[in-house]
A and B are shown apart, each in its own frame.
Chain A
Amino acid sequence: MSAMSLRSLNLPGVGTKYEFETDKGDTVAIFFTKTGTIQMYTLQKGCKTPSAAEMTPVEARRLGNILTGAIIEADQESVEIAFSALADLRVTIHSFLIPKSITGRTIEDLQIRTKTGATVIAVCRHDRNIVNPAPTFVFENGDAALVIGESDQIKRFEREIMVD
């Protein structure tokens, strides 16, 4: 068993609790309460009173993204997912606001896959999501694209495609 053993527990009427102890002996506990909020407690080794933060699901997801090491900017964010079982495979999903320079052009026409290796997996347009857009998909002003790839491919996408 690793030093970081995760304990999960169902508390009647309250919700689910996840708790683990770090290598240094600090304790972190997360509670998903039935009221829909998420509470995170941290207890420093040797201390008796934990400190707590209460979060909405959206805030908790943001915190999760930060903890996975992803860069978070004001309107564009990315998540890096690591699969330790698959030879430590790491994929990054990044959101981009489509610049004026490429509105009106299609995915095929921009040669996104050939030039960068990254793939556009979804586009958000007027609060509607288009998942797995076809190569003939035309970008419009105000679109936000979700791009998946290795971090180098994402960087190349930013450099080659997102130019103004």
Chain B
Amino acid sequence: MEGIVLALFLCLILALITRYLSVPAIPFYILGGIVLGKAGLGLVTSDEISVFFSEMGLIFLLFFMGLGLKPERILANRSAVVTSGVIDLNVNMILGFVAAYLLGFSIIESIIVACAFYISSTAMAITSIIENRKLMLRESETVIWLMVFEDLILIIFLTLISAGNQNLIVFVAKILGVLAVLYVLALYGKEFLISILDRDDELPILFTFAAVLTTASFSMYLGIPETMMVIALGVAFATTDPDAFEQHARPFKDVFLIVFFVFFGVTIDFSGGMNWFVIMIICLLAIVSKLLSGVLTGIAIHGSALSGLEIWGNTISRGEFSIAIAVLYGSPLVGTTIAAMVIVTSIIGSFTAKYSSSIRRGIINFGRKKSPHYRIHAGR
């Protein structure tokens, strides 16, 4: 118990500092965990409570993702969303997989690494767009939709990988069945739900918490992982009053997710072997491959490679979802690699997001300076 208090206290300090410097907090929570945990000072070890809290963090993160996922919105914006999404998926997934496989990971491990490598941090991308006042840029809109597309791919990935030994068709049918039941419940119970959410006593928050936990606990009986259950709940609840649910679930998500990040750091164990070379290559490629997909998307959607630079700047950071994948399916070695990738890309990503406009201007000016020289030479 003292461990979790110490960890939370450290997170509080880190949150204050990172807010003040306006840099993302997630990499520092993980670093904090590493320092406190097995790989560092050994002051904190994970226990039953921290495991439970971490699990809550993951569940609420995915519930939140489900709430924000409105399939009809994606259909309304289909062409642009799908184009950018498919470019992003292919470039990063393939590059990530090939790199991981060549660096000595097994096929299954390489798939896990590739998925963590592919998925950018929605939280960091959106925060950086808002904080750096880039909402009006057309590239920002592309990035926002890209994040939604990535969430969809993550769900498909989670479905495929968590099916395990079960028959995939039966498994998918079960998930769709659960989704249908929840949808019907949300549809017929809509007025009841809204009447509960409108109250100003403790009921809305209690209801939200209980609904998420109850749904998660059903996973045991159905053979569907908790993750899929809560995403389905989020998607179904999104048809009622998603903003109210977000508001009531946010305190749980915020606190539990921080525990999740810091204890992910705590459980990282370097004794399982650490290959700095592998980690360095993966981190470097994680940045380069998003540049490639960003530039291709920029050309395809905005007709400009420089637009791609802006997209790149905001999508470098890997974060919450990469860690979720590492925690759910990664071996210790995969976990360490993904942790390093998240830390490096999110710190670099916060700078590229801040300075992407300057980088862009720099390139334009550089181009202008160069061209007169060229003309002088040509004139001779």
Binding site for B on A (CB under 8 A): 10-14, 17, 29, 31, 33-35, 37, 39, 41, 43, 49-50, 52, 54
Contacts and interface: CB of A to CB of B under 8 A. Distances in A.
A52 B133 contact: yes
A56 to B, nearest CB: 14
B135 A14 contact: yes
A72 to B, nearest CB: 25
Contact of B135 (A10, A41, A49): A41
Q: Which bracket fits the contact residues of B?
A: 10 to 19
23 contacts: A11-B135, A11-B141, A11-B144, A12-B144, A13-B122, A13-B126, A13-B144, A13-B147, A14-B129, A14-B130, A14-B144, A17-B135, A31-B136, A33-B135, A35-B130, A39-B130, A39-B133, A41-B133, A41-B136, A49-B357, A52-B133, A52-B135, A54-B133
B172 to A, nearest CB: 25
Chain A interface, DSSP helix/strand/loop, else mixed: strand
Contacts of A43: 136
Contacts of B136: 29, 31, 41, 43, 50, 52
A33 B140 CA distance: 14
Contacts of B148: 12-13
A36 to B, nearest CB: 11
A12 B141 contact: no
A36 B148 CA distance: 21
Interface in B206-258: 246
Contacts of A14: 126, 129-130, 135, 144
Interface string B130-149: 10010111000100110110
A162 B148 CA distance: 57
B127 to A, nearest CB: 8
Contacts of B141: 11
Contacts of B137: 50
Contacts of A41: 133, 135-136
Interface in B342-380: 357
Contacts of B246: 34
Interface of B: 68-70, 73, 122, 126, 129-130, 133, 135-137, 141, 144-145, 147-148, 246, 357
A61 to B, nearest CB: 20
Nearest to A37: B130
Contacts of A54: 133
Given A29-B136, A50-B137, 9 more contacts: A10-B73, A11-B141, A12-B69, A12-B70, A29-B135, A35-B130, A39-B135, A41-B133, A43-B136
A131 B70 CA distance: 41
A43 B133 CA distance: 13
Nearest to A52: B133
Nearest to B126: A13
A17 B140 CA distance: 12
A164 B144 CA distance: 58
A132 B295 CA distance: 61
Given A13-B68, A14-B126, A31 B135 contact: yes
Nearest to A43: B136
A21 to B, nearest CB: 13
A106 B267 CA distance: 71
Nearest to A41: B136
Contacts of B122: 13
A102 to B, nearest CB: 37
Nearest to A50: B136
B280 to A, nearest CB: 32
Nearest to B246: A34
Contacts of B145: 12
Contact of B130 (A10, A33, A50): A33
Nearest to A27: B136
A13 B148 CA distance: 9
A29 B140 CA distance: 14
A13 B68 CA distance: 6
B14 to A, nearest CB: 20
A12 B68 contact: yes
